[in-house]
Structure 1
Amino acid sequence: MMKKILTAVLVTATFAVSAQVKKAPVKKAAPAKPAAAAISLKTSLDSASYAFGSSIGNSLQSTGLTALNYDILLKGIKDAFTNGKLIMDQSAAQRAIEKQIKKAGEQKFAANVTEGKTFLAKNKSAAGVKTTASGLQYQVIKEGAGAHPSAEDTVTVHYKGTLLNGKQFDSSYDRNEPLALPLNGVIAGWTEGVQLMTAGSKYKFWIPYNLAYGERGAGSDIPPYSTLVFEIELIKIGKAESSAPEQTGK
């Protein structure tokens, strides 16, 4: 009797194991990815072609772009180079380029944009600070008297410019020489702000990036998308007696 029971148990266990083995999924090996074909520069044309490609790539990368659809990029180069039919006209192509570069810049300098917006949102409620319709913020340090300049006027000013972190990038005070400049030839924040002033006044301005140097910045001292701080003293309204040197705000 005991022998029959053991035999029945062994048979049942064998079927159970067999069933589990049959149900186990069989893993298929992932297909091997084809290795990128090595490029051999056999001729001077090969070398020049690669050099042109890497040069174009470096130039595009310097705009802030991090990736492109390379197959379509090569298609565009080939169509233009072989006088093929272009699927975009020049104006549409220019708009597409500008849009993508702006998008890449906003992503790369997102911290600058956020810093400026956060600061201005808080600063607008500070004592004595006024905000114009354009987003320009200012505070009167000293009030003058008389007429206000127009955008077509030349004004003589003393000024100091800094980033939000306090880093100074320019100052006429340090040069001990006021500056004469046309108001319609400077950044929008200056053009608008100085027109609020009268001779003898001194204002402090906080200028959003879109009223300053925008997505391009200025040289190595003013990064793209920077909100700027200026203290400006309006000395005189009128034509300059001599040609003005290179100035900030331009």
Structure 2
Amino acid sequence: MADTNMPKVNAEFGATPTIEFPSETAPAGLKVVELVEGDGPIVRRGDTVTVNYHGVVWGKDSAFDSSFARHQPASFGIGVGQVIKGWDQTVPGHNVGSRLVVSIPPEYGYGSRGVPQAGIGGGDTLVFVIDIISTR
């Protein structure tokens, strides 16, 4: 069952994400929706994963960070504390070729401090669209 409160995102792997927010209020807790199910290998904790991602603060129009905009995917260890908890807990278990939309509350993101220089407040929920390109 789809969470009606999750943002609407174009379900096209590799396409620059467009995000439409259904309401001003983000859903409670960590939420993930698989928009496209890939048929590649499954991502496991401890893998090095390569992704394209697009991150926005809930309700905002522009991204605070987007590898799509840089045309440069990012690679990092997943499930091992190299990235925010919201990523470590949602990316493993999905297949290469999948597009995810993840809603990440502060306790799974940057906490009560936020990242002021990126325009992320301490109470902000983050939304990431994540295309899983490869894993090893």
TM over 0.5: yes
| Cα distance in 2, alignment partners of residues 201 and 187 from structure 1 | 20
Indicate yes or no: 2:63 matched with 1:171: no
Equivalent runs, 1:62-81 vs 2, <5 Å: none
Which structure has the higher relative contact order (CA within 8 Å, separation 6+)?
Answer: 2
Task: Report which of the two has the higher share of helix.
Answer: 1
Q: Structure 2 unaligned segments of length 5 or more: list them.
A: 1-22
Counterpart residue number, 1:224: 122
Percent pairwise identity? 36
Computed over aligned residues only, the root mean square deviation of the Cα atoms, in angstroms, reads 1.8
Counterpart residue number, 1:144: 38
| Cα distance in 1, alignment partners of residues 49 and 69 from structure 2 | 19
Structure of higher CA gyration radius: 1
Q: TM-score when scaled to structure 2?
A: 0.74
Counterpart residue number, 2:96: 199
Residue aligned with 1:119, SS: coil
Task: Report which of the two has the higher share of strand.
Answer: 2
1:202 is displaced (CA, Å) by: 0.4
Residue aligned with 1:232, SS: strand
| Cα distance in 2, alignment partners of residues 147 and 139 from structure 1 | 18
The amino acid that maps onto 1:182 is G
Is residue 155–residue 182 contact of structure 1 (8 Å, CA) maintained in 2? yes
| Cα distance in 2, alignment partners of residues 188 and 139 from structure 1 | 17
Q: Structure 1 unaligned segments of length 5 or more: list them.
A: 1-114, 122-134, 239-250
Q: TM-score when scaled to structure 1?
A: 0.41
1:196 is displaced (CA, Å) by: 3.1
Counterpart residue number, 2:111: 214
Equivalent runs, 1:104-123 vs 2, <5 Å: 118-121=25-28
